[in-house]
Structure 1
Amino acid sequence: MPATTAPATPALTLAVVGTGPRGLAVLERLAVRLTEEAARARRAGRRPAAVTLRAIDSHEVGAGRIWRTDQSGWYTMNTVAGQVTMYSGGPDGGPARPGAGPSLGEWLAAHARPGERVPGPDDYAPRAVYGRYLRSVHRSIAAHLPPHARLVDHSARVDALVPLPAGGYRLTLDRPPYTLRADAVLLATGHPHKEPGDPERALLEFARSHPGVRYLPGDSAADLEPELGESAVPPGAPIAVRGLGLSFYDVLLTLTVGRGGRFVRAPDGALRYEPGGREPRILAGSRGGLPIPARGRNEKSPAHRHRALFLTPSALAAARARRAAATGGDRRLDFAEDVLPPLLKELEHVYWTAHVRARSGPRRAARFAVRHAAALREGRDTSALLARERLDGVPALDPAALARPFAGEDFTGPGDFRDRVLRALDQDLAEAALGNVGGPLKAALDVLRDIRSTIREAVDHGGLLPRSHRDAFAHGFLPLNSLLSAGPPAERVEQLRALIRQGLVEIVGPETVFRADEESGRFTVSSPRVPGSARTAAVLVDARIPSPELRRDTAPLTRSLLAQGLIREFVTVSPDGERHPTGGLDVTEGPGRVLNARGEPVAGLYALGIPTEHTRWFTQVGGGRPGAPTRFHQDADAVAAAMLADRPAPAPVPAPVPAPVPVPVPALVAPPHPATEEAPR
């Protein structure tokens, strides 16, 4: 056997399945690391091994499904343009490239199309425009890869992924080239389509058995749009809409602006709606009966960071230590006891400090903040402090009451509830106009967004006791948090108010009941708190985005991976041994390696983003924030580093056989100097 020298590093192929923001962020960090690798190799006088990046998406490579560029312009983001970036570093004067590129707001300022209204840094861009930005990031990745790397796009759905005996994976696609091989694979597949549960199946069966009746399960409104056309929902016909969250506003505009109507601002600033004449009548409701409130007018720069005083990493560490001491080692937290109280102190402190700032200016507010924070830390009554600032008559902050403003109220009829809803919308718009710094209410609620990373530290990867996770966190905190912190731009609430006044939209009432009614052969919508609220409709649309649930995911890829035992659901276990399936895809901490059915990390297989929801929290974030290394980019970089480390085992290279010593002859041409020879590329 011939002697061997140092093994040659083999080529590497990495596949990213799903190229929405999460997949794109990993490609961006891969490009940064590959560029750094090329520089190191150059300094060492060697050539790095070839790397192929395969970007695979069933909808639009570089934008994904939710942000695809062909959707209607009325679907907007709910984060202002200046606070979103896909680049892991800001502009540096050079071309936009991985590691140094513009935020969405900066990109929009330079890339507006002729006649296009350009959202400012504190405005909300259409999702299709964000998709264009994502596509530009994708192009910058392809254009700035080092010579030893290339990016290959595949517009296809991955239906199966099978480990190969020699390492790596074979991917089966639904379109040519039908099969690919990769050494490592990232699953960043985004929002799933789910099998209907028992309640949804009953509604679907009812619709199938009654001519002219249709039930549309929850999905992105852009995907539902073809099902909401005039042939399905004729002009003037009632349509029932379940859910009053962000997707409700999307459905609302599809059925109004999408039918030829328009919103017009009067000289006095009031917004009114001019019907196109083809709108249906919209009957909407939810458990709480309150349309999701608006976000406050943005007053925060991209560099703004909330400085937590109570819910801090050190506070969580201390709480875990107390839990471990009390239980003999179980460090898991109780959300209601260990997390929620300091979180509410954060909100309370910002709320009262903003009130003092609005009344007495920033210097007095700073002095108040020191005294108020100390009182909260020490558990002292703060009423005397508030009275000194003439705030004793101001209502205290009560997030639960804000989320359920109609709790305990009964109404005389639909007109009474309509007036109550309009008053609530008026009040919300007034609060939103004060801003998310100057307005005490919206400033406090914005803390729920600012402090998400610390909440993740508490809850991710089974950080909570299972029953606490289910009851206090998932069933208690999450609905409240979504309602109070994830709202739309104020303009959307203005538009809803105009449509209610126009008579095109009716919010049915609190505790809305949606029922399949055999007697009428239609769906009925009613509120037990509003006499005379019952209405019927032939079409019911669920305007709630389904929560990921691994075993109900209809994707062929997910089903194939489950059948092979390559993935598993994240299950937590209570101290008494009770198992709690979460619905999330189980992954390791750090780079998100997928765990198989036996709980072992699977070599070269990663998952990031929405598939891992419930194992981690709030994975639907669609970008980083300029000016700081956010968790979004940190996650992407951890995956990129791990994928690049998953190289196949180097193949031994036989040592060269020594050449015979040549007989010296006069040289006719001087041999080239080794340093001047150019290596082939």
Structure 2
Amino acid sequence: MPVLVVIGAGPRGTGLLERIAANAPELLGPGVELDVHLVDPHPPGGGRIWRHAQSPLLRMNSMAEDVTMFTDERTTMDGPVRPGPSLAEWAADPAAHPPYRPAEDEEVAAELRALAPTDFPTRRAQSGYLDWVLRRAAGELPDNVRLFVHRDTARRITGDPDGPQRVHLSDTVLLADRVVLALGHLDSAPGPDTAEPRAFAARHGRTYLPPAFTADADLSGLAPGERVVVRGLGLAFVDLVALLTEGRGGRFTPRPGGGLRYHPSGREPVLYAGSRRGVPYHAKTGYRLQGPPPPFPRYFGPDLQLPDEQVDFRRDLWPAMAKEIGFGYYHELFHGHPERTALPWAEFLAAYDRHPWDSPERVDLVAAAVPDPEDRVDLERLDRPLTGLRVGSPAELQQHLRAHLRADLARRSDLRHSADLGAFYALLSLYGHLVHLLPAHPLTARSTAAHLDGWWAGFFSFYASGPPGFRLEQLLALSDAGLLHFLGPELRVDLDEEHGTFRASSPALPGHHVHGTALVDAFLPRHALDRTDDPLLRQLLREGRIDEERLTDPDGHVYRSGLVRTDPDARLIDPALGHRPHPRRTALGAPTTTRAPAAFARPRTDAPSFRQNDAVARRLLAELQKEG
């Protein structure tokens, strides 16, 4: 009887199990029995990140209708579609979706009853959805497939490549014909860039919190009233603010004229926050497309002509990517708001097709076709909205940042600006196609570091992965209450030995410094294989059975991404096998070079993780069929 062990029972392992259930009737002969073992110390379905045991203040940054774990007619795959509800559809009537089990937490049950499709659910609500998805997938396994769940940690994998693999748990060993690592987001020990602030904090009795998943961070060292410098204004920052304000007993109430008022508990620290951009991520839109969905891809897809090697992201990829974003934006503007355009769509598109993104002809075309400059997409201004900002006082800086947040909130809630959503869908399309283009057209080491893992990842998150709008309203209320101060762009933090403080400054306010007695790096930790906290990866690395991605340019420049190397079929690259793929070991998700970490997605967006889950499930089943 063949055996498959999947290490990691969070969303990625759950998605793989769903695809195994969908494909097994076709690929696993009726005479072949298969045992599947899921291994995870955290609750199956949600795993660590989406477990129920976390603060109810922490929310998703997606609307309930935009979250699904199921393939659909838009998914590019060979396996069968097994339709399933989005989080919103499931929450509307959980009892209608077997196997039904009432929510044990009454707060979550009440949230699900009241949840609207356009609400942003708590992570605990998503945990309930993922738990149900896992149970449904388990129930859909054919009779010749048995499932076993182990609430345990995998610590070692041993075994020859042509024989059974031994997966060592705390007190037992599982024999497997195939092993899948679906480990999800992992912690790493603090990196060398944290050594100086850690040592400084220890010398002066101060507090420094390195990058961490906010739900797991120990915030108790941040004292009431303490001046805390915060680096980072992304999603980790938003979660941090929630836990340090409402999480410490404060309350937000509506103002009669709109907006929110914050009522402090007296237990909050005072936050001074900045980043490279100097502004929080854009709020999620609160509207839907007004025109038909843009037909992606148009410029950035399988037909894109690229060199086979030494590809540079900004030179070779970005012009087509930027043009695709513009296409998504203007498609929605012309179809959803034709009264604000001066040319027929077909005429505009024919000319837009001809002109490169960075050409003056394209700029002139847009100027002629879109009379109002505010209706034109400007990616450079979007990326760095505070470029060149100089103010004369801290009060002026706060006023400028509050105005920016209010403008962003207004734009993201105003249907007149639904073209922004067209650009958002273009970004999702780009993300999916990058996953397929890069293995055949690898970037240079420098471009991978600076552009793909650096600038592009940041720009995508800034535009497309922002918080719900009410979070920006809360930031405004905290700013009004004097508990949140914005530091501006190009944030610099110096270690002031004389005063024993973290000294923060921005070129937007020349000559001004803020001294804090605590420093928080409010961004998610980047996985580094050589510092991983995962015991299984540590063992495999120590024994030379996995390898970190190392890219080398012709001049000898090396970039180490911290990711585990896999081949295009998601097999682990094994240095002990001459850096060939291991025939019995597969790895999926965040810490791997597939760079497709998202385990769930918007419906009908042909999500890369869904495509990969299906392909891997089919490959594994075909291989296990032969083992049987």
Q: State whether TM-score is above 0.5.
A: yes
Match of 2:473 in 1: 494
Instruction: Write the letter of the residue equivalent to 2:157.
Output: L
Instruction: Find the aligned partners of 1:354 and 1:506 in 2 and give their Cα distance.
Output: 36
Instruction: Find the aligned partners of 1:578 and 1:406 in 2 and give their Cα distance.
Output: 32
- List runs of 5+ in structure 2 lacking aligned partners: 74-79, 95-102
- 1:335 pairs with 2:309: no
Instruction: Write the letter of the residue equivalent to 1:428.
Output: D
- 1:197 pairs with 2:191: yes
Match of 1:238 in 2: 227
Distance 1:644 1:394, change over 3 A: closer
Match of 1:94 in 2: none
Contact 1:431–1:442 under 8 Å retained in 2: no
- 1:87 pairs with 2:70: yes
Instruction: Write the letter of the residue equivalent to 1:135.
Output: D
Contact 1:306–1:451 under 8 Å retained in 2: no
Distance 1:265 1:179, change over 3 A: same
Instruction: Find the aligned partners of 2:418 and 2:249 in 1 and give their Cα distance.
Output: 36
**Mean Cα deviation higher: 507-516 or 490-499:** 507-516
Distance 1:205 1:579, change over 3 A: closer
1:314-353 equivalence runs, <5 A: 314=303, 316=304, 319-320=305-306, 323=307, 330-353=308-331
Instruction: Find the aligned partners of 1:49 and 1:395 in 2 and give their Cα distance.
Output: 60
Normalising by structure 1, we get a TM-score of 0.82
1:253-264 equivalence runs, <5 A: 253-264=242-253
Instruction: Write the letter of the residue equivalent to 1:236.
Output: G
Instruction: Find the aligned partners of 1:608 and 1:120 in 2 and give their Cα distance.
Output: 32
Contact 1:59–1:68 under 8 Å retained in 2: yes
- Matched residues, number: 606
- Which of 607, 629, 632 in structure 1 is aligned with 2:609? 632
- 1:31 pairs with 2:52: no
Match of 1:433 in 2: 413
- 1:620 pairs with 2:569: no
* 1:250 shift after superposition: 0.4
* 1:482 shift after superposition: 2.3
- 1:159 pairs with 2:150: no
1:131-280 equivalence runs, <5 A: 131-164=127-160, 167-174=163-170, 177-211=171-205, 213-224=206-217, 227-229=218-220, 232-280=221-269
Q: Taking CA–CA contacts closer than 8 Å with sequence separation of 6 or more, which of the two structures ends up with the larger relative contact order? A: 2
Matched residues, percent identical?
A: 32
* 1:442 shift after superposition: 4.7
Instruction: Find the aligned partners of 2:51 and 2:83 in 1 and give their Cα distance.
Output: 24
- List runs of 5+ in structure 1 lacking aligned partners: 1-10, 42-47, 91-96, 324-329, 652-681
1:185-584 equivalence runs, <5 A: 185-211=179-205, 213-224=206-217, 227-229=218-220, 232-300=221-289, 304=293, 306-314=295-303, 316=304, 319-320=305-306, 323=307, 330-356=308-334, 357-358=336-337, 360=339, 366-376=345-355, 381-382=361-362, 385-386=365-366, 388-389=368-369, 391=371, 393-394=373-374, 396-435=376-415, 438-460=417-439, 463-531=442-510, 533-576=512-555, 578-584=557-563
Instruction: Find the aligned partners of 1:567 and 1:135 in 2 and give their Cα distance.
Output: 31
* 1:499 shift after superposition: 1.1
* 1:425 shift after superposition: 0.7
Match of 2:54 in 1: 71
Instruction: Write the letter of the residue equivalent to 2:594.
Output: R
Contact 2:198–2:208 under 8 Å retained in 1: yes
> Matched residue of 2:253: which SS?
strand
Match of 2:76 in 1: none
Distance 1:603 1:206, change over 3 A: same
Instruction: Find the aligned partners of 1:240 and 1:577 in 2 and give their Cα distance.
Output: 38
Distance 1:513 1:17, change over 3 A: same
Greater C-alpha radius of gyration: 1
Contact 1:305–1:450 under 8 Å retained in 2: no
- 1:16 pairs with 2:6: yes
Distance 1:115 1:128, change over 3 A: closer
Normalising by structure 2, we get a TM-score of 0.88
Distance 1:600 1:350, change over 3 A: closer
Instruction: Find the aligned partners of 1:648 and 1:355 in 2 and give their Cα distance.
Output: 51
Contact 2:340–2:371 under 8 Å retained in 1: no
Distance 1:385 1:404, change over 3 A: closer
Instruction: Find the aligned partners of 1:564 and 1:604 in 2 and give their Cα distance.
Output: 17
* 1:444 shift after superposition: 2.6
In the TM superposition, what whole-angstrom CA distance separates every residue of 1:366-390 from its partner, at most 9, and x where no partner exists? 3454344344369672466445546
Distance 1:164 1:354, change over 3 A: closer
Contact 1:375–1:381 under 8 Å retained in 2: no
In the TM superposition, what whole-angstrom CA distance separates every residue of 1:32-58 from its partner, at most 9, and x where no partner exists? 2234457x52xxxxxx23211111112
- 1:587 pairs with 2:566: yes
Contact 2:342–2:368 under 8 Å retained in 1: no
Instruction: Find the aligned partners of 1:462 and 1:364 in 2 and give their Cα distance.
Output: 37
